[in-house]
C-alpha cells in the first residue's frame, strides 16, 4: 500500500499536469496498476487491521436467544444465564451492541416553540432548610416557570403544596413574566390535575384560575420527560448555580435572593437559543395574553363561628380574633402572607401568616380588648350585686293627698 503523500502526488500529476499512467509510474517508481488504483480511488489509502476475535463471539448466539425473548434483560442476568466466567465489562459492551436489534427505538426530537405559545411550570424543592420561626425549619417548595420560546425563568417559594399556595405562587410567576402564556404545561400535581385514562381532569381550583386568565393547560403524561424538559433543566440549573453557598432567614428572604439572582440569570446567553432570555422575552410577551381586569382569587376562604376562646384555626395554628365578636360568624381569608378575618364587612383580625406549626398567635390589640371586657364584666357584676335601698312609694301618695 502506498503512502498518502504518494497517493496525493499521483492524483495531482494525473489531474493537474495531465501526465499519463506510464509517465507517472516512471516518475514515482511504482507499478502502473498502483497508479491506476490511485487515480480511481476517491479516498486516501488506509490500513485496516483485521478484526481480532473476542471471547464473547462463542456465546453470542446464546445472547441473541435471550435478548430475542427478553429484550430488556440486564447484562448481569445474561451473564448468570450463560455462566459467563470472564469480565462483565466485555459482555456488557457486546450486549449493548446487540440489544438495539430487539428493542424498538425511542427517538426524541428537538422541540421548537413559537413566541407566546406556552410556558412550563413545576414544583421544585430546594435542599435547604428554611427558618419558619419559633425554632422550626423545613424544606419548602418553589413554583418555577419558564417561557418556551425565550426560556425566561421565574420562581416563587410557597408555604405548602396546597392548591391556594401553589396557585398563589403560579400567579407570582406570571407577574414576573408580565404576561399570560396561551398554554401552561404542568406535571400531574394533586392540586393541578391528573390523567384519568385518556382524559385530563383538572381540579376545580385550577379550572377557576386558568379560566379567569383565559389560559389553556396541558398535563404531562408519565414517562414523558421531553414534554417539560425545559423546566426540568432549569430546576437542575437552580440546584447547581443558585442554591450552593446560600443561607436564608425566612421565606421572604429566599424570594428576595431568588428574584435578584434571576435578573442576572436571565441576562446570560442561553446555551440552546444562543440569545439572552431577558431580550427574547420581549417577543414572547408580545404574543402572550394580557392580564384580565380582575385577577383570579387564589386565597383560601372559609366561614366559621368564633368560639369563646376567640381564636380561629388555620392549618395547625390558632390566630386571635377581636373577642367582642365571640359567637358571631366570621369570614377568614388566607393568602401567601396573611390571615385576615371579617365579620359583616368589618375587619376583626389581621395576622402575618405563621409557617411554623402548632402555635397560638395573639395580637396585642386583642389582648387589650379582652382585658377591657373583663373589667367591664367585673363592673357590671359589682353593680348587680350592690344593695340599693327601695323607697316606700306610699310617702308620695300621702304628700300629694292621694292617700
Q: DSSP assignment of 48-98, as one string? A: -PPPPP-TTGGGHHHHHHHHHH-TT--HHHHHHHTT--S-HHHHHHHHHHH
Whole-angstrom CA distances from 309 to 235, 324, 376 are 45, 11, 18
Q: Are 34 and 45 in contact (CB under 8 A)?
A: no
As a whole number, mean pLDDT of residues 363-372 equals 94
Q: How far apart are CA 310 and CA 320, in angstroms?
A: 6
Mean pLDDT is lowest, of 10-24, 239-253, 355-369, for: 10-24
Q: How far apart are CA 159 and CA 357, in angstroms?
A: 12
Co-location of 85 and 211 in the same domain:
no
Q: How far apart are CA 186 and CA 144, in angstroms?
A: 10
> Does residue 400 lie in a domain region?
no
In percent, the amount of the chain with pLDDT more than 70 equals 94
As a whole number, mean pLDDT of residues 161-189 equals 96
Co-location of 82 and 131 in the same domain:
no
> Does residue 402 lie in a domain region?
no
Q: Are 152 and 278 in contact (CB under 8 A)?
A: yes
> Does residue 48 lie in a domain region?
no
Angle, helices 4-15 vs 32-40, to 10°: value is 80
> Does residue 324 lie in a domain region?
yes
pLDDT at 389: 66
Co-location of 187 and 256 in the same domain:
yes
Average pLDDT, the chain: 91
Place of cell 396573611: 338
Co-location of 133 and 187 in the same domain:
yes
C-alpha closest to that of 145 among 163, 119, 168: 119
> Does residue 394 lie in a domain region?
no
pLDDT at 226: 64
Co-location of 131 and 280 in the same domain:
yes
Whether the pLDDT of residue 292 is over 90: the answer is: yes
pLDDT at 12: 87
Co-location of 156 and 257 in the same domain:
yes
pLDDT at 388: 62
Co-location of 147 and 10 in the same domain:
no
Whether the pLDDT of residue 109 is over 60: the answer is: no
DSSP letters of 301-327? EEEEE--TT-EEEETTEEEE--GGGTT
Q: How far apart are CA 89 and CA 86, in angstroms?
A: 9
Co-location of 133 and 264 in the same domain:
yes
- How many domains is the chain built from? 4
User: Residue 274: helix, strand or coil by DSSP?
Assistant: coil
Question: Where does the pLDDT of residue 66 fall: very low under 50, low under 70, confident under 90, or very high at 90 and above?
Answer: very high
As a whole number, mean pLDDT of residues 23-51 equals 84
Co-location of 236 and 332 in the same domain:
no
Q: Are 130 and 254 in contact (CB under 8 A)?
A: yes
The secondary structure of residue 58, as a DSSP letter, is G
- All three cell numbers of 333: 381569608
As a whole number, mean pLDDT of residues 229-242 equals 92
> Does residue 84 lie in a domain region?
yes
Distance of CA 275 to the CA centre of its chain: 23
Q: Which domain, by its residues, includes 62?
A: 57-101
> Does residue 163 lie in a domain region?
yes
Non-local (6+) Cβ contacts of 363 within 8 A are 320, 349, 351
Co-location of 271 and 350 in the same domain:
no
Mean pLDDT is lowest, of 125-129, 149-153, 228-232, 322-326, for: 228-232
As a whole number, mean pLDDT of residues 140-145 equals 98
Whole-angstrom CA distances from 296 to 150, 179, 193, 212 are 25, 14, 18, 6
Co-location of 142 and 266 in the same domain:
yes
Non-local (6+) Cβ contacts of 206 within 8 A are 163, 167, 191, 192, 193, 217
In percent, the amount of the chain with pLDDT more than 90 equals 71
Co-location of 219 and 156 in the same domain:
yes
CATH number at residue 248: 3.30.420.10
C-alpha closest to that of 320 among 298, 341, 302: 341
The larger pLDDT score, comparing residue 109 to residue 370, is at 370
C-alpha closest to that of 349 among 369, 335, 363, 368: 363
pLDDT at 377: 79
> Does residue 381 lie in a domain region?
yes
Amino acid at each position: 500500500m502506498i503512502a498518502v503523500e504518494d497517493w496525493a502526488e499521483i492524483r495531482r500529476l494525473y489531474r493537474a499536469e495531465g501526465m499519463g499512467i506510464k509517465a507517472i509510474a516512471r516518475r514515482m517508481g511504482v507499478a502502473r496498476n498502483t497508479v491506476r488504483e490511485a487515480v480511481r480511488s476517491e479516498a486516501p489509502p488506509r490500513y485496516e487491521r483485521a478484526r481480532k476475535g473476542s471471547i464473547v463471539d462463542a456465546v453470542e448466539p446464546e445472547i441473541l436467544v435471550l435478548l430475542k425473548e427478553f429484550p430488556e434483560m440486564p447484562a448481569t442476568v445474561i451473564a448468570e444465564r450463560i455462566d459467563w466466567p470472564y469480565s462483565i465489562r466485555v459482555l456488557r459492551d457486546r450486549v449493548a451492541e446487540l440489544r438495539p436489534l430487539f428493542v424498538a427505538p425511542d427517538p426524541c426530537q428537538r422541540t421548537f416553540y413559537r413566541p407566546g405559545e406556552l410556558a412550563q411550570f413545576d414544583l421544585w424543592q430546594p435542599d435547604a432548610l428554611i427558618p419558619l420561626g419559633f425554632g422550626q425549619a423545613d424544606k419548602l417548595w418553589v413554583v418555577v416557570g419558564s417561557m418556551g420560546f425565550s426560556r425566561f425563568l421565574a420562581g416563587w417559594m410557597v408555604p405548602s403544596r396546597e392548591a391556594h399556595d401553589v396557585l398563589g405562587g403560579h400567579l407570582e410567576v406570571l407577574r414576573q413574566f408580565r404576561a399570560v402564556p396561551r398554554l401552561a404545561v404542568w406535571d400531574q400535581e394533586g392540586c393541578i390535575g391528573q390523567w384519568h385514562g385518556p382524559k385530563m381532569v383538572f381540579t376545580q381550583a385550577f379550572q377557576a384560575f386558568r379560566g379567569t386568565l383565559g389560559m389553556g393547560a396541558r398535563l404531562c403524561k408519565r414517562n414523558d420527560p421531553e414534554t417539560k424538559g425545559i423546566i426540568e433543566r432549569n430546576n437542575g440549573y437552580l440546584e447547581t448555580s443558585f442554591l450552593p453557598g446560600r443561607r436564608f432567614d425566612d421565606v421572604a428572604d429566599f424570594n428576595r435572593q431568588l428574584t435578584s439572582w434571576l435578573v442576572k440569570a436571565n441576562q446570560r446567553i442561553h446555551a440552546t437559543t444562543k440569545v439572552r432570555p431577558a431580550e427574547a422575552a420581549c417577543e414572547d410577551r408580545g404574543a402572550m395574553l394580557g392580564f384580565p381586569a380582575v385577577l383570579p382569587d387564589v386565597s383560601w376562604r372559609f366561614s366559621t363561628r368564633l368560639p369563646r376562646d376567640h381564636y380561629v384555626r388555620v392549618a395547625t395554628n390558632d390566630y386571635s380574633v377581636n373577642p367582642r365578636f365571640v359567637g358571631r360568624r366570621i369570614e377568614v381569608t388566607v393568602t401567601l402572607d396573611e390571615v385576615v378575618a371579617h365579620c359583616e364587612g368589618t375587619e376583626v383580625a389581621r395576622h402575618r401568616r405563621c409557617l411554623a406549626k402548632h402555635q397560638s398567635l395573639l395580637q396585642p390589640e386583642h389582648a387589650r380588648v379582652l382585658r377591657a371586657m373583663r373589667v367591664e364584666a367585673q363592673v357590671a357584676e359589682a353593680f348587680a350585686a350592690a344593695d340599693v335601698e327601695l323607697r316606700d312609694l306610699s310617702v308620695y301618695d300621702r304628700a300629694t293627698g292621694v292617700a
